[in-house]
Amino acid sequence: MKSPAYKVVVTLASLIFGFAIIGAAVYWQLEYGERSGGDPGAVSGDRAFTTEELAEHDGVSGNDCYVAVDGDVYLIEGFALWQMGQHLPSNGRASCGYDLTDVIDESPHGRSKLQLLQKVGTLT
Ligand code: HEM
């Protein structure tokens, strides 16, 4: 038989240990959570891209498809006419990872499709 005092001490120690674990987890998440994993700023809409960083988003090998128009960078996702980093009706003129400001002016739809796209940042 354990004494009541022993039970109180064990309960308190368990509580303190438990809160310490939770506190450490919360601290870890706040301190390091934002920086871990994936593409930082991918959905924030305000990331600055160099031409080289834009080119990494070529829509193949699991990369997202990003394109730039007029200095804004857009995510292209979920469109049947964009496959494997290529815009099928464009005959190779519109590909992911490039500044397509001049190309979009040659398209039948012009800038009207931009409103369907999520802006992820700007091209520096
Ligand atoms: C020479 C270049 C291009 C050609 C010939 C072209 C042609 C087309 C055609 C024929 C369509 C289907 C008809 C329509 O929805 O209006 C289409 C759809 C679309 N285009 Fe283009 N386009 C070009 C460039 C671009 C560029 C540069 C962008 C983005 C920056 C773009 C984004 C889209 C989107 C988002 C759709 C809708 C796709 C879908 O619903 O599956 N296009 N394009």
Amino acid at the residue 19: F
75-103 pLDDT tens trace: 999 999 999 999 999 999 999 999 999 99
- Ligand 1 centroid–CA 10 distance in Å is 67
Contact yes or no for 96/53 (Cβ under 8 A): no
- Ligand 1 centroid–CA 107 distance in Å is 7
| Residue 74 pLDDT exceeds 90 | yes
pTM (two decimals) = 0.72
Kindly state the average pLDDT of the residues 32-50: 65
Which residue has its alpha carbon closest to ligand 1 atom 16?
A: 109
The C-alpha atoms of residue 61 and residue 53 are separated, in whole angstroms, by 16
- Ligand 1 centroid–CA 7 distance in Å is 71
The CATH number of 47-123 is 3.10.120.10
Q: Which atom of ligand 1 is nearest to the CA of 89?
A: 7
Domain residue spans in the chain?
Answer: 4-35, 47-123
Ligand 1 probe mutation, 54, 81, 114, most atoms within 8 A of CB: 81
Show the tokens assigned to 38.
């994936």
Task: State whether residue 36 is helix, strand or coil.
Answer: coil
Show the tokens assigned to 7.
């039970």
Show the tokens assigned to 111.
């800038």
